[in-house]
Amino acid sequence: MKKNNINLFLSIGVFSLLFGCSTDEKQKVITKTKLVMSEEFNVDGAPDSNMWTYNIGTGANGWGNNELQYYTDRPQNIKIENGMLKITAIKEQFMGAGYTSARIISKGKYEKKYGRIEARIKMPLGQGLWPAFWMLGSNSDTVTWPACGEIDIMEYLGNNPIRIFGTVHGPGYFGGESISKQFILSNSRFDTEFHVFGIEWDKNKINFYVDDYLYHSIKPKDVPGEWVFNESFYLILNVAVGGNLPGSPNSQTSFPQSMLVDYIRVYE
C-alpha cells in the first residue's frame, strides 16, 4: 500500500496484468481456530494507545505515492464511535495540504508472525479514495523497503465499489512488479455492506480471503526474489486521498468520506 517514504505501488496500467476472481469462481474455506487477538473497537473515543500509534503529516513525497492528504490524530479524522473505528477523509486546507485523513499502526505494540488475520470493514465511495488494511515487516526502520516485506490484505479504490486487491511486495517484486490479484464482488458492494478481508499466513504460503472465500494464494515459488514473510509484521489501517494509484478526487467525489472498521481478529 503506502510505504513509509519509498513506495510506488501499482500504476493504473498494471491493472491489465492482474487476475480477476468473481464469487462464482471461488471455494469457501473456513479454518479459524484459536482466537489470540481481538480488537473490537467497543470503547468510544480515541483508538487504544496500548495497541495503536499514529502516522502524522504528509510523509516524504506523499508517503512515497504522491498522496494528497495530511494524516492527523484528530477525532474529526479518526475515532471509535458506536462500536466502529471510523477513519474519515475530509476536504479542507490543513498544514499545506488540501485534505486530511488518518493512519494508525500497531508497530512496537502488536506484531504477529503467522496466523489468520482479518477485519470486517465498510468502504467509502468516490474517485481518489484509497483505503487499506495492510502489514509491514517489523524491521521496516532498519531494512529498506521492500526488503522488510509488505502484505496488503485489502486495498480498495473508491471509484470501483465491487473490487479490492490482495498483494505482496518484496525484493524483486514490488511496485508495478508486485504479486497481486483482484477480487470482484457479485450481488453486493464494498461501500454499502460490511465484508471480511483476511489472510492465512504460514512459512510456506499467504492465502487471501474475502468473506471466507479463498481467491489468491502466494507461495515462495511464486515470487521472483527472496521470500521475506517469515518474520513478525505489524498492522496498518488508513484512508489515503489521491496518489499514483487512484488518481486525484474529481468533481463527483463528495466529502467527508469514511472507512468503518467493525473489528480486527487474529487466530492461530
The residues annotated as belonging to the active site are 150, 155
DSSP string, 44-112: -BSPPTTT-EEE-B-TTTIIIII--EEE---TTTEEEETTEEEEEEEEEEETTEEEEE-EEE-TTT-EE
- Residue 191: Cβ within 10 Å count: 18
Beta bridge partners of 94: 97
Evaluated on CA atoms 50, 56, 60, 64, the torsion sign reads positive
| Grid cell digits, residue 31 | 479454518
Q: Is 244 left (phi over 0), alpha (psi -120 to 50) or beta?
A: alpha
SS3 string, 202-258, reads ECCEEEEEECCEEEEEECHHHCCCCCCCCCCEEEEEEEEECCCCCCCCCCCCCCCEE
- Residue 221's contacts (CB-CB under 8 Å, 6 or more residues apart) are none
Q: Quick check: 231 and 149 in contact, CB under 8 A? A: yes
